[in-house]
Amino acid sequence: MSLIDTHCHIDFDSYDDDREVVLSRAAEAGVTRIINPAIDLETSAGIIRQAERYPAVFATVGIHPNSTADFEPAMIERLAELAAQARIVSIGEIGLDYYWDKSPKHKQVQAFEAQLALAARLELPVIIHNRNASEDTIPILEDWAKTLPPALRERPGVLHSVSAPQELAERALACGFYLGFTGPITYKNAEETRRLAAATPLYRILVETDGPFLTPVPHRGKRNEPAYIPLIVERLAAVKQISTEAMGQATTDNAVRLFSLDTP
């Protein structure tokens, strides 16, 4: 079974000492492709270089909400230039984060809406970061989804490491979005996340590590890595009451469809 980690920051310095070993362990665990989301212009360029170096890695370009304090509209054209490179599969990681106080809300919204417009223009799906901001994030996505070209209407993007209340997550699903589930679904106190997974259609579920963060049980407390994706697949399979193989195949098919990847 060929699995896809749809969100891992494999470019972070946490992996500098053993990145190739981590990628090798991922392959041994059946994780053959990894999508590496950017957080600013600098990482966007660096991730492209890594995707060119490592065949398993695919790149995104984007400005994370916590990196938007100095956002200027001119940055959008630079992102457009970067997005024209090979192996770019998404605009992301973009969105809103009201948990950390690293960027004023109005700057976050400005950058978010500008990058959504870019994604529509380039017909690329988006990877959405939403932390403590569902009340603003979901309405913005609903308005955006109404304007999408035909190529994106059925695959606008994914709510990364979804933590929105079920009612708001269902509104995102109604717009065509996928939901990404990470290590916390394996945590003892994550019943709300498991209920959300149980209610999410199988064809809209993705698996992510968000490495080096959000490590699943039994490795919680250590650095996360793509080789742990099978643990998330296994827990989701139990929640959906299907085989691990069926869950793995579904999440791979979903990732291939959303990001226009080649069929394994």
Into how many domains does the chain fold? 1
Residue 171 is assigned to a structural domain of this protein: yes
Q: Are 99 and 81 in contact (CB under 8 A)?
A: no
Is 159 inside a domain boundary? yes
| Domain-located, residue 106 | yes
CATH number at residue 135: 3.20.20.140
**Section 143-167 average pLDDT:** 93
Tell whether pTM > 0.85: yes
pLDDT 10s digits, 207-257:
999 999 999 999 999 999 999 999 999 999 999 999 999 999 999 999 999
Domain that holds residue 45: 3-259
Q: How far apart are CA 186 and CA 16, in angstroms?
A: 27
Instruction: Give the sign of the dihedral formed by CA 54, CA 57, CA 63, CA 66.
Output: negative
Give the pLDDT score at 263: 75
Helix 75-83 / helix 41-53 crossing angle, nearest 10 deg = 10
CA 153/CA 181 separation, integer angstroms: 22
Q: Rounded distance, CA 145 to CA 11, Å?
A: 30
Q: At what angle do helices 105-122 and 134-145 cross, to 10 degrees?
A: 30
Q: Is residue 92 a part of any domain in this protein?
A: yes
Name the maximum alpha-carbon separation found in the chain. Answer: 48
3-state class (DSSP) for residue 215? coil
Whether 264 maps to a domain, the answer reads no
- Determine, yes or no, domain membership for 180: yes
Q: Can you tell me the distance from the alpha carbon of 60 to that of 51, in angstroms, rounded to the nearest whole number?
A: 10
First and final CA of the chain: distance in angstroms? Answer: 10
73-77, 94-98, 162-166, 190-194: range with lowest mean pLDDT = 162-166
Kindly state whether residue 248 falls inside one of the protein's structural domains.
yes
Could you give the CA distance from residue 171 to residue 165 in angstroms, rounded to a whole number? 10
What is the CB-side half-sphere exposure of residue 27 using CA atoms within 13 A?
Answer: 10
Question: Does residue 79 belong to any structural domain of this protein?
Answer: yes
Q: DSSP letter string over 123-192?
A: T--EEEEEES-HHHHHHHHHHHHTT--HHHHT--EEETT--S-HHHHHHHHHTT-EEEE-GGGGSTT-HH
**Mean of pLDDT values over 148-166:** 92
Q: Which structure tokens are listed for 79? A: 């992102």
264 has pLDDT over 70: no
